[in-house]
């Protein structure tokens, strides 16, 4: 029997054509970025720069990428609190990598759905609730991006980084708006459910009950934020995640014998994080390298070296994640075939043990 949140509505033709148009636009943007980046550059100059890469620093950069995603998996597990102990960290790590591989390889943002599906099928958790935890992740990362830009702004006054610093107000407003929405949803859960039930009573054929179930599961995805100890740990993990992600850029600069600087590293991180929303081809090829080149030009790094950083950093981070995530997706698919989903008791009522510290 199919659960309420397992039913998927048919995809409308207009929506499908809109997705095709988005993919086409992404391909055009990526090709344009590649042309802009390479139009005045000799390819052999980029190859010479890449051949000089120091293997030790490259290996450390790869390690930092894996540690970053391990920290993301630990933070994600905490967001299922107080029902998180049945979720093995290694499984969430594999599922997280699977979702990232899909999001990078297919420019339709389907990685979040993959994560919700795998958690639901493997461990019996509500897919709507899992999507809510992913949404909380996105809000936290947006808040961290806004904080990063705010900290960097006074340090970038002598550079050409106006494109980044001019967006600090918008980023801050959006982050605060989303955080406020999460708090309102958390504190007013009973009110929203009561309102939803009144509206659902007006719908025929009990159709509204499905939406109430989805809303209830999604609001339960915010339960972890009711516990101060969890909020503190999630915040600490978020700072560690950003520190590790910035260190990947730092180590990549060292690998290419470029002046490594934490301001440069975190500026590049902020630009690349903000650039995720730009339509592009599968794998973000083109726009990733062009953003690296433009950002490093603010700090006086030549176009050839900036593009080389983009190529090496792409191999270290997105390409590694796509390969590791593809393998993880194969592993999780095999696990689904060999074992039945774990039955988890349906969640009802308020979270238990409010004083208990998460593990």
> Which tens digits make up the pLDDT trace of 252-307?
999 999 988 899 999 999 889 877 666 566 677 888 888 999 899 888 889 899 99
**pLDDT of res. 284:** 77
Question: Which among 21-35, 84-98, 151-165, 244-258 has the top mean pLDDT?
Answer: 244-258
CA-CA-CA-CA torsion sign (218, 220, 224, 227): positive
**Cα–Cα distance, 238 to 35 (Å, whole number):** 36
**Cα–Cα distance, 80 to 225 (Å, whole number):** 10
Q: Which residue has the higher pLDDT, 94 or 21?
A: 94
Percent of the residues in the chain that have a pLDDT greater than 90, as a whole number: 30
**pLDDT of res. 182:** 54
**pLDDT of res. 334:** 86
**pLDDT of res. 98:** 94
- Would you place residue 137 in the very low, low, confident or very high pLDDT band (cuts 50, 70, 90)? confident
Q: Are 242 and 140 in contact (CB under 8 A)?
A: no
- Would you place residue 111 in the very low, low, confident or very high pLDDT band (cuts 50, 70, 90)? confident
- Would you place residue 349 in the very low, low, confident or very high pLDDT band (cuts 50, 70, 90)? very low
Q: Which helix (H) or strand (E) holds 190?
A: helix 189-200
Report pLDDT digits (tens) over 216-258: 555 666 777 778 899 899 999 999 999 999 999 999 999 999 9
**pLDDT of res. 351:** 43
**pLDDT of res. 180:** 62
**Helix axes of 55-78 and 89-105: crossing angle, nearest 10 degrees:** 110
CA-CA-CA-CA torsion sign (218, 221, 223, 227): negative
**pLDDT of res. 32:** 82
- The average pLDDT across 175-184 equals 58
**pLDDT of res. 57:** 96
Above 60 in pLDDT, residue 184?
no
- Would you place residue 321 in the very low, low, confident or very high pLDDT band (cuts 50, 70, 90)? very high
Measure CA 90 to chain center.
Answer: 18
> Which residues lie closer than 8 Å to 97 by C-beta, 6 or more apart?
69, 321, 324, 325, 328, 329
Q: Are 121 and 342 in contact (CB under 8 A)?
A: no
Average pLDDT, the chain: 77
Q: How many CA atoms lie within 13 A of 193 on its CB side?
A: 16
**pLDDT of res. 287:** 85
- Would you place residue 134 in the very low, low, confident or very high pLDDT band (cuts 50, 70, 90)? confident
């Amino acid at each position: 029997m199919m659960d309420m949140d397992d039913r998927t509505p048919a995809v409308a033709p207009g929506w499908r054509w809109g997705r095709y148009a988005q993919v086409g636009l992404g391909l055009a943007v990526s090709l344009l970025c590649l042309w802009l980046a390479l139009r005045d550059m000799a390819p052999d100059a980029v190859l010479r720069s890449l051949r000089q890469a120091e293997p030790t620093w490259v290996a450390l950069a790869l390690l930092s990428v894996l540690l970053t995603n391990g920290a993301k998996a630990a933070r994600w597990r905490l967001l299922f609190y107080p029902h998180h102990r049945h979720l093995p960290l290694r499984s969430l790590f594999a599922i997280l990598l699977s979702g990232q591989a899909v999001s990078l390889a297919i420019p339709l943002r389907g990685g979040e759905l993959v994560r919700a599906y795998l958690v639901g099928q493997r461990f019996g958790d509500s897919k709507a609730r899992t999507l809510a935890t992913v949404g909380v992740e996105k809000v936290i990362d947006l808040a961290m991006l806004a904080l990063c830009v705010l900290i960097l702004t006074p340090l970038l006054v002598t550079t050409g980084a106006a494109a980044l610093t001019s967006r600090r107000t918008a980023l801050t407003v959006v982050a605060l708006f989303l955080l406020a929405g999460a708090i309102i949803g958390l504190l007013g859960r009973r009110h929203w459910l009561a309102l939803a039930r009144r509206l659902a009573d007006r719908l025929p054929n009990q159709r509204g009950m499905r939406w109430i179930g989805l809303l209830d599961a999604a609001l339960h995805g915010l339960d972890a934020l009711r516990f101060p100890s969890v909020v503190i740990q999630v915040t600490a993990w978020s700072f560690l995640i950003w520190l590790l992600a910035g260190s990947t850029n730092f180590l990549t600069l060292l690998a290419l014998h470029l002046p490594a600087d934490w301001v440069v590293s975190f500026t590049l991180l902020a630009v690349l994080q903000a650039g995720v929303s730009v339509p592009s081809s599968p794998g973000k090829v083109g726009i990733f390298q062009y953003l690296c080149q433009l950002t490093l030009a603010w700090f006086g790094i030549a176009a050839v070296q900036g593009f080389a950083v983009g190529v090496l950093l792409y191999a270290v981070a997105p390409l590694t994640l796509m390969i590791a995530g593809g393998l993880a997706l194969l592993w999780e698919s095999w696990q689904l075939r060999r074992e039945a989903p774990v039955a988890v008791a349906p969640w009802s009522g308020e979270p238990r043990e409010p004083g208990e510290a998460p593990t």
